[in-house]
Structure 1
């Protein structure tokens, strides 16, 4: 109230229309306070009349500028009152509020007290109430610089990843270009404002004005020229530059600007900057504006905007205690250590108990040690181009397991390396087996994928492909298929198999290196390669041209068909609990167009993959009732599986148990299909309808398999157990 300079009412409020334009007497200072009309006033709230304190409210300030009102500052820098008269000057703000109420009551002006909700700014560090205060500040006109930043995007001088941020960039800078940037701060640290107040004994109009110059010496020279004499004093402004202003100079100031030098010419502009969307306009836009203004070029060519990181669905915040420290992921951290780190923070002790409880809920077993490689690749595995990413510790553990798997793959092959072994150059497909051609084709495809997605920063696509390449293609499939050769093959076959494996590991480690530099470097140094680079960091990245000779679409298609055949056989065996037997079980008969279809060598891999006793190609079984037609890859192939010996050899009790399990599966599949078919499809459209139809097709397929299994048991046992 002590700083009020006007009373505002709504222009349509009939209660006060007759008072607009008149003045009221301030109850403490006696100054005349104008009564104005402004549409911002909510006439339904309180009395409908609002007092304005322009020097201590941003909203009131905007209205004051609009109506040309006075601004009276009543707060000193230490929080005590000033410019309020002897009664209040030097008094603390909350004491003054009580004093104001007492004096109003004594004067008979008190009309009562009513509570109402309002937003009160609170300091995050001290939890104290923040009081707005009008102060002199330094501002930067951004209108032209903002247009230059917009033009840079339109001219493709800068590129956004994801691209939709370019529209947001233009919209925001267009809307805010006329708002000056306040670049001064009242802090204890930072770059000093290069402005000096001119204090002179003369009556010059320049007395009290500021001289702006890069150095104090240059400021003296400039002031002398302005005054025509040197009888003056210069006092540097105590304010410092806004941190965002100082950091916006970083791309070129750190390279020696404004002096043109080799570093500046080589490294400016740089290639890419990455940032969260929350500081796109605090920092990135200002770097572009200052870079264009002071050097003529934007400081970078690409702007990669990543998502906000969430923990259990909430933005990470120290005050919530849900921040995941990267070092805790790398080194591991117990729950006790997590909570101990909070005790040394500035979190309010009243909130500590609740935060401890939440931490115990989220990290009951602490955080396991995962290492920096797993941390890096796990973070890159998220699609960071959305609004947010929900970080989960389980993801880091998953990629730690991948690190272990890659290490074990290398150790497996290392055990087969003869003394002094150096891998042969595999630069052609002659004398290579089908599985060798297949894995080399997979490597060639991986190089194409990296070449396609690295420039677009689709790191999640690359990490997923690398993970599948190492864990599935290389480990689960190729390594397993290579075991018979490494264990029972000729010396030449072993040498070729090991050389192919080394070539695959060399290529795969190079693709992995940007995500797991430590593991890839360690294993690269151990690879028995001829003429390899001193470090994987300086080795050439695999190129699509180099690997194009290994591209083999036909072989890849043949293997995909083989996988489908093998998978159907394994699924069929699993229904009877015969997939993971210690010994091989069952015989498969595959009849199909071998000359135009899958090569015989590829088909025989099924025997190893599906753990069959034997695989018969283009041969019919002796007993038709002992086999089951899996009806896969029809009409080109007929796949028959004989598990009759294994089923018949089981005891009556085991057969009853098997039959009961199959009947239970059959009933549940029928129920699930019926429930799905009864769903109202009229409300489904597009992707939802497609998903529903796909689910129905899968359920029908699973039901057919269950019926086939029940029928097969009846046939091979003559129904004796059913």
Structure 2
């Protein structure tokens, strides 16, 4: 008796299959890494999504790429770790919680920091796992046992250690400088969290009178409310128009303050009037001028975007309300000259979505230049890290060169509280710019330090601010592995191998990781940086919340399955860094491209099911490997193509050619294996009279079917795991950790493949001729293949049975010459081979001509009817645009059909 194996279901159900294997892989710790096993490490850390987030198409694309890479490397024998985790997202979480408090009529100050953070952690436990569970739906092969969170105990310890070391080394300092202030979140934000937006605004021109009454100067500004904080007017020292005024005083309108006219090279004489108002506390360029000329710094802004007491009569007004009122007052005072429409760039807070306000504030900063220079040394002297595509190297380098000091403090409560403590009893309990402080690893250490300086009665208070989220994210590649402790993971898996990320966070994240890593570990945190493009919508536009054109990947997963979506996203990648376009119908939630991938999964499933039904209940191992001595022509051809495919797939994946590899596997499975090889061997499978030929076909089918599950697994892990398990009768094995196929060169025969191309094209031509003659699929026809090439004749002779079976030919003639008395034929050409189907006795030419003429008449009548509508101005002008376009498309298609029919009639 032969052993029986479970058969695949008649129809593939992606939803039950995917859930089954996602659960199995995780519960059985299939992807749990072990540094003690040795070998060659391959490590990727997940770009940590915000804990507030939910899966969007960018996440799906990025993680599908990473999982393809990781699964491939795992199957090549690498000791692989893909480490997952999430980011605490200070501003995003704080915004959610404060919105909840407002709905309850409360503020965070009323609740207090301790209770606020209790709410935050409770929210994180209840809602923070959404995106993690959605990543599980993608089937990502991460090591969930190592999941990290940027606020967990280990990573918090790393943050404190990094801050303390940088401070002790003189690279972190506290001072009053101009920062980007977000009134919405009431926190400082870094330059990288500011997005410039083009807006249609105005340019207001004002006259500032000279204090001696001898005239005035004219200035222009896009922010008239800031004139309340002006402390000078600047001109270029080389501008002859104003050289005689340098050093004189002006009387600031409204405020009546005396301010000097100064000379500074920064001023562009060609812009505006050549006179620039200087507000050092509210403009970064003015701030630098103020420092050069020792100008007073007058802050007129509160942290909520209202004006403070330094704004005089405008105190308490919102900045944009004050803008209008200041202009009215200046107009009433007769100093408004003109107002011009002016399109200019305004910096917006990336999180708060409001214009940022340059604000003079005491903050914590990282002295970035020493860290950036060290990182540049790795790039310039070791080409580390390597960017794919290489063009991003210059972008990354240019950014490192121009980096300025990094403001790392945020006026929030959710996050890593800055490890600095103040001796508040020395300043009456209030933290000021002059309050003595100490940076320490914990409160006890800080208290001991401050008591040694100020006595045992001193009271201490920790800095209320938290660190910029990107500070902890910058430590991610090594803090997640236990740094600053010397752990086994850190020793074996660090530096990581590849970072996969989008170009939009090269500056936010990649540069910060490389700077932090170079400083704290003396190495780059990853060997390669693969920069992927964007997923664009069906119209080729960038997806965004503001454009409301995002596509929810979960909707497509629910409709088509995870593997179908993953495969679509990967297969569409034309090249490293290229954007992809995802076709999507928003009315029906349908995607033609994802549906095509679902159809591919069904094709593979049906082919696997057919093969297994014809293996006599045996596994590939039980059948044995293909024996070259018993193989027939098509067996040797498919094995050659398969081993060529292995080389092409591995080469592409080794070079991050994800899309190229995916397309190659697709073409082989759908075309070579399903459409050709399976069809070619069906007669042998059903012929019990030729056991040797039948066994060779079974061995080859099983061998190739198992191999393509392995090749395809990184791209479509769930369906391939299910097919492989059923095929090989695995009990305690999983496909996910099987060796990736390796090519055996002795199977590759390029000459044979060229010969087989001739056979395939000959069959394809016979089929096309049959279709043109409208011969029924079940009817067999005679065919003549004529060529003077002896080699081609030999190839066709060997393949005679293939041509007859797949071409539905009952009489095949191979000849060097054609009988001139043959009569009417339908002809096609493949290379130097002429393929002829005699029409006598096969086709009733007159009946066929009559049918074609009737079909042509119907098409021409329909075409004329639609053309008449299109020639009617009433229809064209009144009908919806899409209806008119549909009519034009229909006419174009009918014209093509009519042309084909005319060609056939002409031939007949």
- The answer, yes or no, to whether TM exceeds 0.5 is yes
Separation in 1, partners of 2:311, 2:545:
43
Distance 1:78 1:16, change over 3 A: same
The structural deviation recorded for 1:488 is 3.4
2:582 pairs with 1:391? yes
Q: Which residue of 1 aligns with 2:695?
A: 495
The structural deviation recorded for 1:507 is 0.2
Separation in 2, partners of 1:102, 1:453:
66
The structural deviation recorded for 1:38 is 4.5
Distance 1:421 1:315, change over 3 A: closer
Q: Which residue of 2 aligns with 1:188?
A: 413
Q: Which residue of 1 aligns with 2:164?
A: none
1:56-96 Cα distance to aligned partner (Å, 9 max, x none): 22343344344443221111223333341764544544554
Q: Which residue of 1 aligns with 2:860?
A: none
2:557 pairs with one of 330, 348, 359 = 330
Contact 1:194 1:214 (8 Å CA) reproduced: yes
Distance 1:599 1:640, change over 3 A: closer
Please show how residues 509-588 of structure 1 align to structure 2 within 5 Å: 509-528=709-728, 534-544=733-743, 547-578=744-775, 581-588=777-784
Contact 2:626 2:696 (8 Å CA) reproduced: no
Distance 1:486 1:387, change over 3 A: closer
2:462 pairs with 1:268? no
Please show how residues 205-354 of structure 1 align to structure 2 within 5 Å: 208-224=435-451, 227=453, 229-311=455-537, 312-331=539-558
Q: Which residue of 1 aligns with 2:614?
A: 416
Q: Which residue of 1 aligns with 2:69?
A: none
Q: Which residue of 2 aligns with 1:655?
A: 849
Q: Which residue of 2 aligns with 1:116?
A: 341
Contact 1:192 1:238 (8 Å CA) reproduced: yes
Q: Which residue of 2 aligns with 1:132?
A: 358
Distance 1:250 1:625, change over 3 A: same
1:628-664 Cα distance to aligned partner (Å, 9 max, x none): 6645433xx55444233223x34x342245589999x
Q: Which residue of 2 aligns with 1:349?
A: none
Contact 2:786 2:834 (8 Å CA) reproduced: yes
The structural deviation recorded for 1:28 is 4.8
1:237-269 Cα distance to aligned partner (Å, 9 max, x none): 222211111111111112221110112212212
Greater strand proportion: 2
Q: Which residue of 1 aligns with 2:400?
A: 173
Distance 1:119 1:148, change over 3 A: closer
Separation in 2, partners of 1:93, 1:373:
52
The structural deviation recorded for 1:583 is 1.4
Q: Which residue of 2 aligns with 1:642?
A: 838
Distance 1:49 1:589, change over 3 A: closer
Contact 1:533 1:539 (8 Å CA) reproduced: no
Contact 1:662 1:710 (8 Å CA) reproduced: no
Q: Which residue of 2 aligns with 1:457?
A: 656
The alignment covers a number of residue pairs equal to: 624
Q: Which residue of 2 aligns with 1:84?
A: 310
Distance 1:48 1:159, change over 3 A: closer
Comparing 448-457 with 458-467, greater Cα deviation is found at: 448-457
Separation in 2, partners of 1:224, 1:461:
66
1:69 pairs with one of 276, 279, 295 = 295
2:601 pairs with 1:403? yes
SS of match in other structure, 2:498: strand
Distance 1:272 1:120, change over 3 A: closer
Distance 1:69 1:428, change over 3 A: farther
Distance 1:485 1:25, change over 3 A: same
Separation in 1, partners of 2:383, 2:549:
39
Larger Rg: 1
Contact 1:198 1:207 (8 Å CA) reproduced: no
Comparing 213-222 with 414-423, greater Cα deviation is found at: 414-423
2:568 pairs with one of 378, 403, 407 = 378
1:577-636 Cα distance to aligned partner (Å, 9 max, x none): 34x6331233223454259841633243122232223222348666433456645433xx
- Gaps spanning 5+ residues in structure 2: where? 1-226, 584-590, 858-899
SS of match in other structure, 1:457: coil
SS of match in other structure, 1:537: helix
Q: Which residue of 1 aligns with 2:785?
A: 589
The structural deviation recorded for 1:328 is 1.4
Separation in 1, partners of 2:662, 2:812:
37
Distance 1:129 1:284, change over 3 A: closer
Distance 1:606 1:59, change over 3 A: farther
Separation in 2, partners of 1:548, 1:425:
20
The structural deviation recorded for 1:457 is 0.8
Distance 1:419 1:123, change over 3 A: closer
SS of match in other structure, 1:56: coil
Q: Which residue of 2 aligns with 1:682?
A: none
Separation in 2, partners of 1:421, 1:465:
26
1:394-444 Cα distance to aligned partner (Å, 9 max, x none): 221211111111111112223334356665112431211111111111110
Separation in 2, partners of 1:610, 1:91:
85
1:486-538 Cα distance to aligned partner (Å, 9 max, x none): 23353443333222211111000001110111100111111046x88711012
The structural deviation recorded for 1:236 is 2.2
Contact 2:823 2:838 (8 Å CA) reproduced: no
Distance 1:95 1:224, change over 3 A: same
Q: Which residue of 1 aligns with 2:896?
A: none
1:447-479 Cα distance to aligned partner (Å, 9 max, x none): 111221111110111100011011111111111
Contact 1:101 1:110 (8 Å CA) reproduced: no
Separation in 1, partners of 2:829, 2:303:
85
Contact 2:416 2:467 (8 Å CA) reproduced: yes
- Structure number with the bigger relative contact order (C-alpha 8 A, sep ≥ 6) is 2
Separation in 1, partners of 2:409, 2:399:
22
2:395 pairs with 1:197? no
